[in-house]
Structure 1
């Protein structure tokens, strides 16, 4: 399903074209590209001489991969990182020619389009090296690979007992002119806590992997390990390239510390109607919620199909006029009801699900707590039927 995208100046109503007809959207996700630029510059400056990869997987963490990628590349990013072949080729089709890495693909992938498009591939198994070498031979190209090493996360990458074999075959294919080992890399399981025993063990394991690669004749120009958290407070993990994911979108990645990142997304919807109700009024399904006083209810067209987590019912709030208004009753598929008390709310006013927090509205971090999850899930969960509107004064 395609995602509606609109570009308007700040303060302009969000209009969407559907089948040649322009309609006003009931809800929108406003993406502050200046915040993306600020975060990118901050992360790039922190990295020092290391390069920076803007991770724009999952449609740029829900912000819009193309728009985020273009902004990041103008403000310090030198690489793009995506999950899949489809994501990588879509960015190439948009005219983005920057170095790009992808790291997940099915065993049936043949890589012809990937290599022709000049996209680097992460490899953690000899079988994938063989397929890439074959594709390079068929297409007359050289496959650029990043050898991924499992240093303790037990997810992607080659485990220690397979490093020697992986390095041997990579060296053979490199000598045959079929591929180039451009990088060694791994993924940290807990970069948020610099004293965590698991983190220290991973750093030691990665150092051993680099030594083993060098002994096998693998000497790539790039080594990368750091994610957003490591980039900001673990200088020993920065190496030649950092991978900025959640930090790029303005979420502080280290609990209890602030580095000056600016949240880039605000999700809001128009109040559709209000009604004054007496004490004892049931609200939404069940009803699980009954008003304990006379109050005003406001209907807002955002529900769990749009990314409002259903089990935040009874915990979460929206903001209207800077005032927190709790969700009354269950979150429905397409809507929530807010208890606005005696606030004189009118239909057409904006109810903010989350934003930077500057005007008292909830933040993504708060929604993550209410939903017992992380900010990544909240951001990527904002559905495709919520149009994205891009703002920038730069």
Structure 2
């Protein structure tokens, strides 16, 4: 076969009206809202929408608005700066940040951000911060993750000091919480150990004079697997907002377009190091998205994309800015849409497929989508829902 090349002349084949026109991530907020409603119904208690890491790459502010409109009553983030972004956007719902620099406690208080406290150092930093009202804190007990949280042997002392500061009007203990290592496995021994330790920890806190407003433990996996066992006063849902989990709808579609097409004979090496070769006379389509945009290099030789109503495999190594797709004997055209991942309605790959191909989870696939891929929001909520209230 003689190699021929068709070069892009600028016709996209579909509308990419943001950025450089090479790729976009479309976030369907109707899916986000549907997921929130489903999870609220399953949990049977108020829901904290966890919009950390820019809402898993979906866009923190617009996603937070959709979640609140659909029935979430709290927002959760990891870092104080993420919370400040939400406050500056005008969102007033109760808001918790749980992995923070104690030196920024003043900033958190100024923006009405609740802080997680895992030990004496955290508590001291919050107590030193300045504000008219007591600092709002959630005491975190490590029940077995051995990650963040107060170790069990230090819990009684943390409770006692917190109660003293609360009586002095310096802090207000709003919540007590922990995190499950096997949230999707209600029958796991580790889960039952954590549940027992959490119950004991809450009892110690109450016997020490604390009266938290919310006790929270369950994450998305726990809400889906056994909410009655883990839900308490509040559930924290992150992954489920974006369609990660059974019975939920993925909200993000990552798409791009064909920018070059060439006919290539059998046996030709493709890409760096020629890790793959064509096995037949075929057509190769160049797609302008690579590992800088979130396409994992581990997908080399495994992944597929959706083009012209069918799946087609990647061929050759994933490059920083581009991948090559083997589209077979029938050529595609420059400008043809290419779906990298989506909800799977038409057979296109999903984030779950990409996670399987690359040996990771859907969370990493979504959060790995690079910043130079513009996000386009459809069916979003443009104003803060009137049903929200100021933090209680």
Q: TM-score, normalised by structure 1?
A: 0.91
Contact 1:330 1:336 in 2 (8 A): yes
Pick aligned residue for 1:188 from 175, 180, 205: 180
Match of 1:6 in 2: none
CA distance, structure 2, for counterparts of residue 82 and residue 41 of structure 1: 20
Contact 2:271 2:316 in 1 (8 A): yes
5+ residue gaps, structure 1, are 1-10, 18-23, 253-257
**1:40 has 2:36 as partner:** yes
Greater shift after overlay, 167-176 or 213-222? 213-222
Written as runs of structure 1 = structure 2, the 5 A alignment for 1:150-165 is 150-165=142-157
Contact 1:116 1:141 in 2 (8 A): no
Match of 2:225 in 1: 233
**1:336 has 2:323 as partner:** yes
**1:15 has 2:17 as partner:** yes
**1:361 has 2:354 as partner:** no
Match of 1:251 in 2: 244
Classify the secondary structure of the residue corresponding to 1:181: strand
Written as runs of structure 1 = structure 2, the 5 A alignment for 1:370-381 is 370-381=357-368
CA shift digits 1:132-173 (9 cap, x unpaired): 1121xx322211100000000001100100001100110000
Match of 1:31 in 2: 27
Pick aligned residue for 1:106 from 101, 104, 119: 101
CA distance, structure 2, for counterparts of residue 302 and residue 354 of structure 1: 12
Distance of aligned partners of 1:152 and 1:336 in 2 relative to their CA distance in 1, 3 Å threshold: same
Pick aligned residue for 1:348 from 310, 335, 341: 335
CA distance, structure 2, for counterparts of residue 357 and residue 233 of structure 1: 23
The offset of 1:195, in angstroms, is 1.4
Contact 1:287 1:329 in 2 (8 A): yes
The offset of 1:16, in angstroms, is 2.3
5+ residue gaps, structure 2, are 1-12, 382-392
Match of 2:235 in 1: 242
Pick aligned residue for 2:205 from 207, 210, 213: 213
The offset of 1:321, in angstroms, is 2.2
The offset of 1:251, in angstroms, is 0.9
Contact 1:55 1:82 in 2 (8 A): yes
CA distance, structure 2, for counterparts of residue 153 and residue 85 of structure 1: 23
**1:123 has 2:117 as partner:** yes
Q: How many residues align?
A: 368
CA distance, structure 2, for counterparts of residue 54 and residue 39 of structure 1: 11
CA shift digits 1:207-253 (9 cap, x unpaired): 1111111121122121000001111222110011100110110011x
The offset of 1:344, in angstroms, is 3.2
Distance of aligned partners of 1:318 and 1:297 in 2 relative to their CA distance in 1, 3 Å threshold: same
Q: Where in structure 1 do 4 or more consecutive aligned residues deviate above 6 Å?
A: none
The offset of 1:41, in angstroms, is 0.7
CA distance, structure 2, for counterparts of residue 38 and residue 229 of structure 1: 17
Classify the secondary structure of the residue corresponding to 1:61: helix
Pick aligned residue for 1:53 from 33, 42, 48: 48
Classify the secondary structure of the residue corresponding to 1:16: coil
CA distance, structure 2, for counterparts of residue 178 and residue 293 of structure 1: 73
